[in-house]
Chain A
């Protein structure tokens, strides 16, 4: 369903606030992953604020939709979104990566309300999602399992093990979202480990492939609607994104995968994000 002008405006403001929160968390912590957190923001907010059936007052509700941040280094984005949803108070975001914090460097199921799976090491999410989706079917529930993966993450062989299995088990309630920003820690994905035609690969594994603009909530939402219509076939949204989206000097480079933000850089980033220069 297409978005009204009000809804577009709502998401524009929301995504700006989440971006500012993410950059602030990483700046204050003096450690964290900016590039891949910023590229994933629209994917995560569109899920949590438009699509997912969740109840922040009952994070373990059995029939909730599940979200797995398989690219767990985007933890700041997940935490900012969970706080915005009301799973925990927003001031807690300032404790990110601090000693004794509930907000660990990578998501921890046992520590943070709303986190459905502990992640960090790459390549696990789709497999865990398979177990969740099979359990859903077995218990005759109808929740969806959304798994966010990164493009470098597809270097992991286990991603393709999961691709085979999800098709075998006909998991139409498993939806993978690929944050396709084309960079990984050491460089551009085409240099580090070329993957060729990613869409063709997933199709050949038996998946329904939907390509969207990963920074356009309306496009993401329509892609998800399409995925929800599929029967007996798992879907992947290949979301074209920009690593470091929204901050000029962080965009389209691997350098900001996991770099500390200086005071000056932070001031510049906040200025650009507040004024939406690169929106």
Chain B
């Protein structure tokens, strides 16, 4: 069994490390800091932690104010609240003036599974991708989350960092480097390409392993930065394999699948099959059960790979 670590813990601990290294880091939360784990930063650096109460719009604009004065604010609350409740604030006061705010969307995708649809975030990436000046990053496991937190702090400009609540497997290759805008080749293969974002990386790798038993060599690429997209790596895969299967814990409208399709249709048209949430809200339940029902559905990754090879 792989080691399991909750991404929110990785995130909270990474913020504390970052706070030690850089005194310009400030963290804002909207009364969910013990859930998002920004409370760890609050405990370590009480002077640089600001709890805005249940008022996300005000928090987001205050983050913009901090950034105008040279601070590096991490504004954190549940993903759907950052993008929707405070969406106009992040458009008008952060994206438009290109302010150096890091918007942290906790409990991304279906990960707040038992709280149900009201707390789940299934089209945040679509909105953030469409927002000019916004860089969009998706955390996938403990190691990558820690690296992503450091990288987005070093990058100057608005970033949306999508996180996850739950424990997810830690990938074995600890040495993968994180560079904003650069995809990661997790596994090479020449038959078909699986492109994945977020916590489903381990599921994509599992699928590739099972396909190997059937004699199918699947390439697996992790795209942690949805914008700017690593087009070079995707176009190369489109040229070298017979099709692409995208995998994401997000609506099929506007997320990774859309980004990949937009890319290949312009540069190297190949078939793209999407494993994603099909334009629907989910429901309450265990996280794994929701992922199975709404995304992975009876080995859909493998089924789609086979389908591409049958044509």
Interface residues of A (CB under 8 A from B): 62, 66, 108-110, 116-121, 123-124, 127-136, 138-139, 145, 157-158, 161-162, 164-165, 168-169
What residues on B are CB-neighbors of A120 within 8 Å? 92
B241 → chain A closest CB, angstroms: 42
- Residue in A110, A127, A168 whose CB lies within 8 Å of B65: A127
A110 touches B98 (CB 8 A): yes
A117-B93, A169-B50 given; A161·B57 CB < 8 A: yes
Which 9 pairs from chain A and chain B are nearest by CB?
Answer: A131-B65, A127-B61, A135-B69, A161-B58, A131-B62, A161-B55, A128-B65, A132-B65, A131-B66
What residues on B are CB-neighbors of A62 within 8 Å? 69-70
A121: nearest residue on chain B (CB-CB)? B92
A128 touches B93 (CB 8 A): yes
Interface residues as binary, B66-97 with A (CB distance below 8 Å gives 1, 0 otherwise): 11111101000000000000001100110011
Interface residues of B (CB under 8 A from A): 26, 47-48, 50, 52-53, 55, 57-71, 73, 88-89, 92-93, 96-98
B68 touches A131 (CB 8 A): yes
B91: nearest residue on chain A (CB-CB)? A121
A110 touches B68 (CB 8 A): no
What residues on A are CB-neighbors of B59 within 8 Å? 127
A130 touches B98 (CB 8 A): no
> Which interface residue of B62, B65, B69, B89 has the most chain A CB atoms within 10 A?
B65
Report Cα–Cα, A87/B26, bound state, in Å: 31
B62 touches A130 (CB 8 A): yes
B99: nearest residue on chain A (CB-CB)? A109
B86: nearest residue on chain A (CB-CB)? A158
A165 touches B65 (CB 8 A): no
B70 touches A135 (CB 8 A): yes
What residues on A are CB-neighbors of B70 within 8 Å? 62, 135, 139
A134 touches B93 (CB 8 A): no
A128 touches B68 (CB 8 A): yes
A109-B97, A110-B98, A138-B47 given; A129·B92 CB < 8 A: no
A138 touches B61 (CB 8 A): no
A68: nearest residue on chain B (CB-CB)? B65
Report Cα–Cα, A66/B66, bound state, in Å: 12
Report Cα–Cα, A165/B26, bound state, in Å: 17
Report Cα–Cα, A162/B57, bound state, in Å: 9
B45 → chain A closest CB, angstroms: 11
A117-B97, A118-B92 given; A162·B58 CB < 8 A: yes
What residues on B are CB-neighbors of A123 within 8 Å? 57
> Which interface residue of B57, B58, B67 has the most chain A CB atoms within 10 A?
B58
A131-B67, A139-B69, A169-B50 given; A118·B96 CB < 8 A: yes
B55: nearest residue on chain A (CB-CB)? A161
B69 touches A165 (CB 8 A): no
